[in-house]
Amino acid sequence: MSSLANKVAIVTGASSGIGRAAAKLFAAEGAKLVVSARRQAELDELVTEIEEAGAAAIAVAGDIKAEATARRLVDVAKERFGGLDVAFNNAGATGEMGSVPDISVAGWDETLATNLTSAFLNARHQIPAMVERGGGSLIFTSTFVGYSIGFPGLGAYAASKAGLIGLAQVIAAEFGAQRIRANALLPGGTDTPAGRTVISTPEMRKFVEGLHALKRLAEPEEIARSALYLASDASSFMTGSALLVDGGISVART
Ligand code: NAP
């Protein structure tokens, strides 16, 4: 099974959690990878693991808020691997938490820049590269928060992540004729460092686990498998969608 054979993929937020798991899975499925995040050492370790497994990857460290990072990721994909087919725009952060009137304007701006404007900047460079290639798949990591549930304390995060769904819809409509697909992936609570910023105590963890119909958090690998689905031809007729992979948190009421 090599569902991404001969494909070149960018994965952002690859130093940890969902992005790291997706990078390893995409590589195992035959993709050549450009992996990105701010922490160089973690990226280098990931590249070594991928290479030891017999696949190809290159690390590009940078802040996702900077357009220079977006441009460089696409340039490296083209220079090193000949083009771009898949972009898993996954880097993100919970940002400043608090009731909406208490969120600082600086915290709001930082969260929007990290989670939403970064996606626009990346798409700006990824789409023309995919048009040159004759098609491609963009995936944006959104969340159930702000889509199916108004989780208290996460106003800036919810707004930034809901914006990704709108962005994916418009890209889908604008570039479908050029065989470019764009979808949002909406994970439920996932056991990663970012997930644990919301879950600060064992009691909180139990509470959040209990909100899910499946009564647990996801492992990053479970979300990575859904990203692979959206990246590969398995989802060839899927575009402009918001794919909930949320353990049933959106439907559970106990
Ligand atoms: P994670 O393990 O903390 O990973 C977050 C990744 O984003 C890291 O690789 C981090 O790398 C990168 N990142 C954050 N800010 C960045 C910046 N300014 N520039 C470049 N890279 C940056 O958490 P995760 O749960 O896997 O998060 C991945 C995505 O899933 C995020 O968009 C998150 O919002 C979303 N999500 C998570 C959950 C959950 O419960 N965990 C649920 C729904 C959605 P560096 O620190 O090395 O820069």
Express each pLDDT in 2-57 by its tens digit. Answer: 999 999 999 999 999 999 999 999 999 999 999 999 999 999 999 999 999 999 99
C-alpha–C-alpha distance, residues 170 and 191, integer Å: 31
Cβ of residue 187 lying under 6 Å from some atom of ligand 1 = yes
Tens of pLDDT, residue by residue over 101-154, are 999 999 999 999 999 999 999 999 999 999 999 999 999 999 999 999 999 999
* Domain harbouring 64, CATH code: 3.40.50.720
Asked if residue 252 belongs to a domain, the reply is no
73-to-44, 48, 158, 177 alpha-carbon distances in Å: 16, 19, 27, 25
Tens of pLDDT, residue by residue over 157-202, are 999 999 999 999 999 999 999 999 999 999 999 999 988 888 889 9
Predicted pLDDT of residue 200: 84
Predicted pLDDT of residue 195: 85
244-to-12, 18, 141, 157, 186 alpha-carbon distances in Å: 20, 15, 11, 17, 5
Cβ of residue 93 lying under 6 Å from some atom of ligand 1 = yes
pLDDT(1) > 70: no
Asked if residue 78 belongs to a domain, the reply is yes
Ligand 1 atom at minimal distance to the Cα of residue 187: 43
How many CA atoms, within 13 angstroms, populate the side-chain half-sphere of residue 153? 6
Helix (H, G, I), strand (E, B), or coil: what is residue 251? coil
Average pLDDT over residues 62-91: 98
CA–centroid distance, 95 to ligand 1, in Å, is 10
Asked if residue 1 belongs to a domain, the reply is no
Average pLDDT over residues 202-216: 96
Could you give the number of structural domains in the chain? 1
Q: Out of 26, 88, 140, 157, pick the active-site residue.
A: 157
Asked if residue 254 belongs to a domain, the reply is no
Residue 152's domain spans which residues? 8-239
- Asked if residues 76 and 34 have their Cβ atoms less than 8 Å apart, the reply is yes
C-alpha–C-alpha distance, residues 250 and 7, integer Å: 33
CA–centroid distance, 91 to ligand 1, in Å, is 5
Average pLDDT over residues 81-98: 98
CA–centroid distance, 94 to ligand 1, in Å, is 8
Ligand 1 atom at minimal distance to the Cα of residue 145: 43
CA–centroid distance, 202 to ligand 1, in Å, is 21
Neighbouring CB atoms inside 10 A of 217's CB total 22
Nearest residue to 11 (alpha-carbon basis) of 69, 97, 87: 87
Cβ of residue 64 lying under 6 Å from some atom of ligand 1 = yes
Ligand 1 atom at minimal distance to the Cα of residue 13: 9
Asked if residue 162 belongs to a domain, the reply is yes
Cβ of residue 18 lying under 6 Å from some atom of ligand 1 = yes
Asked if residue 251 belongs to a domain, the reply is no
The verdict on whether 147 is a catalytic residue reads: no
Asked if residue 217 belongs to a domain, the reply is yes
Cβ of residue 194 lying under 6 Å from some atom of ligand 1 = yes
Average pLDDT over residues 52-63: 98
CA–centroid distance, 93 to ligand 1, in Å, is 5
Q: What is the DSSP letter of 186?
A: E
246-to-105, 116, 215, 218, 222 alpha-carbon distances in Å: 30, 21, 11, 8, 10
Asked if residue 2 belongs to a domain, the reply is no
